[in-house]
Amino acid sequence: MIGSFVPAYYSIALPVVLRTLFDYLPPEGHGPIAVGARVQVPFGRGNGRILVGVVCQRHQTQELPAKLKRIDKVLDDEPLLDADFISLCQWASHYYQHPIGETIATCLPKKLRLGAQASITYPKHWQLTVQGKGLPDDGLKRAPKQQLALQQLRARGTIADDQLAEHGLGRDSLRNLAQKGLAELTDTPPNAGQPQAKPAPHPLTDEQAAVVSQIAYGAFSVAVLEGATGSGKTEVYLQAIAQVLARGQQAMVLIPEISLGPQTLARFHQRFKANIVALHSGLNDTERAQHWLRARAGDADIVIGTRSAVFTPLPRLGLIVIDEEHDLSFKQQDGLRYSARDLAIVRAQKADVPVILGSATPSLETLSNINHGRFTHWQLHARPGGASHADIELFDIKQESLIDGFSEHALTEIAKTVGAGQQALVFVNRRGFAPTVLCHDCGWQAQCKHCDSNLTAHNHPAHLRCHHCDYQRPPLSQCPECFGQNLLYLGAATEKAEQMLSEHFPRSKVIRIDRDTTGRKNAFDQLLEQVHTGEPCILVGTQMLAKGHHFPNVTLVVVLNADNGLFGADFRASERTGQLLLQVAGRAGRGDHPGRVLIQTHHPDHPLFTQLFSHGYRAFADLLMEERMRSSMPPFSYMAIIKVEASFPQPATALLEGLKNALQHAFAPNPHNQYLGPMPAIMERVNKRFRYVLQLKCSQRKLLHQVLPVAVHYLSSAKVPKDLRWSLDVDPQET
């Protein structure tokens, strides 16, 4: 038939707050455009803005709608996003009630979101020349570093120039090889060949093997792997991944930002001869886009990344691993407020592949899914490495005289530890010198001008700082109210602990690890290197110290004050505190020495503590679970929070009042839906803005998802002042 050409128009997702797709005609004379391709379009009044969007639907019709604008430019001949990816975005957009265009934009690396060309340029990598390949393995005996590089290159085929450190190689040795004509640096596509796993160093225990065999079926299932640090979880991941690679599939590993260091990557590189692509905050925008494109091209065997890596397209996805599944960093706290863990499970379900959730301290949500039979549960009991569990002491500091927060007992234990040539770790959950500055004469307290929050005193360099809005002011020499000289610096924080310990133990090295000492690039790794020399020292730090790092020579952990978290305002405060305390305690005694943990508290008999430390995490979690059931809080209900912030309180509370009324109107009163508030956020004023919340709680997920679209519709169409912002957080992790 002649003239079978049917005209078409296209529905496009654009990164704007409007909750809809936008229809456009193709450029004049342009052939069909693929769904999933990016296009550039004029947008808004007078077509003043040029936006990059993604084609989501093609409509073929003889009757084109009138007055459609035309697409300016088609950016991709092939679809950049496949149907699976778009369907995951649609799911997320619906579940989190976030505009589809913004959702897709969030899922794309920035460069691609802004319209950069989707072509892969391979990173520079080293390989052997013909001459180098001809050399015997011990051909460079007199240059041991070059010989190591030669052997590594032979074993792996190629090594990326930016991954030399992960393979224990220095750039100089490779340059020297190149000068001798033995190696070369190229940017042709690396040909690592079929991915391979080295044989595992030890046979799996029965418990470990059980999880790996569940993965062997290849179908969707969620296996929770519960085990303390050092119990062999990573070994399970590695062997499960080996199976997946052997099937010609790709694996995705999600881990908290803080654990994604060279140590972790090195362990994967040592086990696999495979293309391993890391996605973390250290990458620049170009690298990030390149890694994403390589994964999409099927050219990455293993993707290891933080939260946002869950959106990496993997055409042959075979397994998703989420390490530390309970970790708060998997939840995005602004924009599209997604949980990478939950999205990963949805993604695995759509792709029909297995998921492993690893944790020493599974979240209550995950435990509840186990209880309901939705997830299988595997416990790793023994520590295969052999080190024994730490012995934990709850030390009652009621009426003890404390020196800058330290009891006499704690100081004695630290002295014994460093005296024996071992390392001690002191955990303080605040950075800075003192969280409270108080005038002893008149009671004045240093507070932030812009927030309902105290200023924290810092000594390096000396200043006062708000930890919420970053307001800073010079240090005080006297009280600004009464000009008194008696300023008190109260409360425990890392700098004060560091100073106190340096004075008390003048001959010991004290190493402070917190956000202030690790801000510079590589600073964290350099500090860790010092610790890894194994020399006796005292480590002082915040939660940065709690996660994922191996400190084989630490035999004593002191928790300066365990009480703060237990009584926090958030309903998850005790859960998080328990998880953190166990994680900190897990730092002790990982090497050949047994560990000791000393926890200072005013409440040694608090049932949560006794459950946690005498009966373990499960008993602790059971107790919390009962509490949540009694108060019908998640996981016994489903929650969403609507937050409104504005320069003045009234418009914010009025909007939420109006919303609450509208919801009460739209849904007949029933005990299954609760609307709590409006109430001030835990901190009402931050950075000169007032913040209020309305909490929606439903007994079933389905009910919540009936309420949400109505709420969003109300909020989007309400008339509000320009400076007012509202946001919706489904399954909030912080209330």
Residues in the annotated binding site for Zn(2+): 439, 442, 448, 451, 466, 469, 479, 482
Site membership for Zn ion, residue 715 (CB under 5 A): no
Nearest to 721 by CA among 657, 643, 648: 648
Stretch that binds ligand ADP, among 73-81, 222-230, 400-408, 714-722 (CB under 6 A): 222-230
Query: Are the CB atoms for 13 and 90 separated by under 8 Å?
Result: no
Footprint on residues 482-511 left by Zn ion (CB under 5 A): 482, 484
Report the residue from 231, 308, 359, 429 that binds ligand ADP according to the rule CB under 6 A.
231
Q: Please report where in the chains the tokens 């379900």 appear, as a residue.
A: 349
Task: Find how far residue 293's CA is from the centre of its chain.
Answer: 22
Query: Are the CB atoms for 349 and 375 separated by under 8 Å?
Result: no
Q: Please report where in the chains the tokens 């149907």 appear, as a residue.
A: 83
Rounded distance between C-alpha atoms, residue 46 and residue 26, angstroms = 19
202 vs 688 by CB, closer to ligand ADP: 202
68 vs 683 by CB, closer to Zn ion: 683
Q: How far is the CB of 439 from Zn ion (least distance, A)?
A: 3
Site membership for Zn ion, residue 438 (CB under 5 A): no
Site membership for Zn ion, residue 442 (CB under 5 A): yes
Rounded distance between C-alpha atoms, residue 190 and residue 299, angstroms = 10
Residue 158, beta-bridge partner list: 127
Rounded distance between C-alpha atoms, residue 13 and residue 21, angstroms = 5
Rounded distance between C-alpha atoms, residue 226 and residue 208, angstroms = 11
Site membership for Zn ion, residue 466 (CB under 5 A): yes
Nearest to 289 by CA among 530, 406, 99, 115: 115
Name every residue whose Cβ is closer than 8 Å to that of residue 506 and which is 6 or more positions away in sequence: none
Instruction: Supply 665's token pair.
Output: 């109107």
Task: Find how far residue 516's CA is from the centre of its chain.
Answer: 20
Report the residue from 97, 103, 229, 359 that binds ligand ADP according to the rule CB under 6 A.
229
Build a one-symbol-per-residue string for 380-419: x at contacts with ligand ADP by CB under 6 A, - elsewhere: ----xx----------------------------------
Site membership for ligand ADP, residue 227 (CB under 6 A): yes
Pick from Zn ion, ligand ADP, none: which does 515 bind, CB < 5 to 8 A by kind? none
The DSSP line for 219-242 is SS-EEEEE--TTSSHHHHHHHHHH
Q: Please report where in the chains the tokens 């209550």 appear, as a residue.
A: 364
Site membership for ligand ADP, residue 329 (CB under 6 A): no
Query: Are the CB atoms for 21 and 32 separated by under 8 Å?
Result: no
44 vs 616 by CB, closer to ligand ADP: 616
Amino acid 553 reads N
Q: What is the DSSP letter of 25?
A: B
Q: Please report where in the chains the tokens 């679209």 appear, as a residue.
A: 709
Site membership for ligand ADP, residue 235 (CB under 6 A): yes
Q: How far is the CB of 692 from Zn ion (least distance, A)?
A: 18
232 vs 677 by CB, closer to ligand ADP: 232
Query: Are the CB atoms for 559 and 497 separated by under 8 Å?
Result: no
567 vs 648 by CB, closer to Zn ion: 648
395 vs 444 by CB, closer to Zn ion: 444
Query: Are the CB atoms for 694 and 728 separated by under 8 Å?
Result: no
Q: How far is the CB of 344 from ligand ADP (least distance, A)?
A: 18
229 vs 306 by CB, closer to ligand ADP: 229
Stretch that binds ligand ADP, among 11-19, 141-149, 150-158, 203-211 (CB under 6 A): 203-211
Amino acid 46 reads G
Site membership for ligand ADP, residue 230 (CB under 6 A): yes
Site membership for Zn ion, residue 455 (CB under 5 A): no
Report the residue from 214, 234, 456, 600 that binds ligand ADP according to the rule CB under 6 A.
234
354 vs 358 by CB, closer to ligand ADP: 358
Nearest to 694 by CA among 722, 653, 637, 666: 653
Site membership for ligand ADP, residue 233 (CB under 6 A): yes
450 vs 713 by CB, closer to Zn ion: 450
Site membership for Zn ion, residue 450 (CB under 5 A): yes
Site membership for ligand ADP, residue 363 (CB under 6 A): no
Longest dimension (CA), the chain: 96
Pick from Zn ion, ligand ADP, none: which does 450 bind, CB < 5 to 8 A by kind? Zn ion
Strand segments (E) across 472-561: 472-473, 487-490, 509-513, 537-541, 554-559
Site membership for ligand ADP, residue 205 (CB under 6 A): yes
Q: Please report where in the chains the tokens 């430390």 appear, as a residue.
A: 613
227 vs 649 by CB, closer to ligand ADP: 227
Pick from ligand ADP, Zn ion, none: which does 636 bind, CB < 5 to 8 A by kind? none
Q: How far is the CB of 687 from Zn ion (least distance, A)?
A: 6
Q: How far is the CB of 547 from ligand ADP (least distance, A)?
A: 11
Stretch that binds Zn ion, among 8-16, 395-403, 416-424, 433-441 (CB under 5 A): 433-441
Residue 464, beta-bridge partner list: 457, 473
Instruction: Determine phi and psi for 675, rounding to 5 degrees.
Output: -120, 110
**Residues at the site binding ligand ADP, with contacts judged by CB under 6 A:** 202, 204-205, 208, 227, 229-235, 384-385
- Residues of this chain that interact with Zn ion (CB under 5 A) are 439, 441-442, 444, 448, 450-451, 466, 468-469, 471, 479, 481-482, 484
